[in-house]
C-alpha cells in the first residue's frame, strides 16, 4: 500500500473507532500521532532494507506483530489506555499492517503475510530492491490508468488508493479539518 492509502485507511479506522468511543473530534496531538503511526513501519523498514541492507526486505522489523504489539503496549503504558494519543498511535500503526496484508489474508495466501511474524518466518521476496524501483513501480502503475479503466472500474490498486485518499480528504475537510482546526479540549 502506498503512503496515501495507509493514511486514508488509518484515518477512517480512527474516525470510526473514536466516534464509537465518543472521543471525536481528536486533539491536534492525536491527529499528528495518527499520521506518523500510519507511516512508521515504512519509515523504518524501507530505509533499513533498501539503503542500508540491514533488513532482508522492506516489510520486516516494524511490520512484524512481534514488534508492533509491544510498541503499541508501550504507548499505552506511556500515555495511558484512555489517552487519545495511545489510541491514535495504535490504530495508525495496526491499520498500516492491515493495509499491507488484507488482500493476502482474504485470499488465504499465508506465505505473503509471513512478514507479520518476522523473524520467526522470513518475509516474502518482493520485486522491489530500492526506493528508485519502488517509485518506478508507482509511475508504471499510474501509467496504466486509462479512460476505459475508469469507465469499467478496472484500475490499478494505486488508483483506488488515490481515490480513497481523495474521498477521505474531502470528508476530513467537510468535518472541519478535525485535529487541525478544532480540538475537543479547546487547544489549537
pTM above 0.75, yes or no: yes
**Residue 74 domain-assigned?**
yes
Task: Tell me how far apart the alpha carbons of residues 51 and 164 are, in angstroms, rounded to a whole number.
Answer: 30
The model's pLDDT over 107-152, given as tens digits with 9 standing for 90+, comes to: 999 999 999 999 999 999 877 667 677 677 767 767 777 766 666 6
Question: Which residue do the cell numbers 508492533 mark?
Answer: 68
Q: Residue 87: give the domain boundaries.
A: 3-174
113 in a domain, yes or no?
yes
Residue 182 falls inside a structural domain: no
Residue 25 lies in a domain: yes
179 lies in some domain? no
Number of domains composing the chain: 1
Q: Are 37 and 10 in contact (CB under 8 A)?
A: yes
pLDDT value at position 121? 97
Domain assignment of residue 186, yes or no: no
Q: Is residue 181 part of a domain?
A: no
The band of 181, judged by pLDDT with boundaries at 50, 70 and 90, is low
Does 165 fall in a domain? yes
Which whole number is the average pLDDT over 44-58?
93
Q: Output the nine-digit C-alpha cell for 49.
A: 532494507
Amino acid at each position: 500500500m502506498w503512503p496515501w492509502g495507509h493514511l486514508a485507511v488509518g484515518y477512517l479506522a480512527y474516525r470510526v473507532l473514536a466516534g464509537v468511543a465518543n472521543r471525536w473530534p481528536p486533539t491536534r496531538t492525536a491527529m499528528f500521532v495518527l499520521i506518523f503511526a500510519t507511516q512508521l513501519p515504512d519509515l523504518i523498514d524501507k530505509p533499513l532494507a533498501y539503503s542500508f541492507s540491514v533488513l532482508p526486505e522492506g516489510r520486516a522489523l516494524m511490520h512484524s506483530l512481534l514488534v508492533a504489539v509491544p510498541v503499541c503496549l508501550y504507548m499505552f503504558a506511556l500515555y495511558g489506555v484512555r489517552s487519545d494519543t495511545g489510541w491514535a498511535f495504535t490504530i495508525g500503526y495496526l491499520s498500516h499492517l492491515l493495509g499491507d496484508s488484507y488482500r493476502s489474508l482474504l485470499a488465504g495466501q499465508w506465505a505473503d503475510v509471513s512478514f507479520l511474524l518476522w523473524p520467526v518466518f522470513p518475509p516474502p521476496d518482493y520485486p522491489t530492491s530500492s526506493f528508485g524501483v519502488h517509485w518506478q513501480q508507482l509511475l508504471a502503475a499510474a501509467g496504466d490508468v486509462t479512460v476505459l479503466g475508469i469507465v469499467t472500474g478496472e484500475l490499478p490498486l494505486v488508483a483506488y488508493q488515490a481515490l480513497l485518499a481523495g474521498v477521505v480528504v474531502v470528508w476530513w475537510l467537510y468535518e472541519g479539518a478535525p485535529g487541525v482546526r478544532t480540538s475537543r479540549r479547546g487547544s489549537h
